[in-house]
Structure 1
Amino acid sequence: MTQETVPQQGSFAQPKGLLQQMEELMAALNADLSQLDADLSAPRPARAPEPGNA
């Protein structure tokens, strides 16, 4: 068979080491968590009371 079973990453891409992949994933996770924390900490406008619950 002439087809390779390993997907190609492009002619200029070098395979990343596991440590580098983990560092990149942790950085992305940290950024996502920071954004989530900012979203949850932001002040929210007061909600109007629902009819019938006043």
Structure 2
Amino acid sequence: MSHEAVPEQSVSEQQDAPKGLLQQMEELMASLTADLSRLDADLQSSADRPPAGGVAH
């Protein structure tokens, strides 16, 4: 019987959740994209400074 109750709960959650989850995912992806862009810019600028920074032993 408890096996039948689980799908009912997940169905009711799915009716309320998708908009909230989709919005959260979009916000997280936008934040991640901004962070990655910043990191890329930092790496690009630091790569320009020392021409052989990571190669020296």
Q: Would the TM-score normalized by the shorter structure come out above 0.5?
A: yes
Show the counterpart of 1:11: none
Relative to the length of structure 1, the TM-score reads 0.56
| Residues paired across the two proteins, number | 45
**How much identity, in percent, do the aligned residues show?**
9
**Residue matched to 2:52:** 48
Indicate the residue corresponding to 1:30 in structure 2. Answer: 30
- Cα shift readout 1:10-35 (whole Å, capped 9, x = no counterpart): xxxxx342111100000000010000
For structure 2, which runs of at least 5 residues remain unmatched after alignment? none
Runs of 4+ aligned structure 1 residues displaced above 4 Å come to none
Structure with higher helix content = 2
| Amino acid of the structure 1 residue aligned with 2:52 | A
So what's the TM-score if we normalise by structure 2?
Answer: 0.54
Distance 1:2 1:38 in 2: 49
> 2:51 corresponds to which letter in structure 1?
R
> Displacement of 1:5 after TM fit?
4.5
Q: What are structure 1's unaligned runs of at least 5 residues? A: 9-14
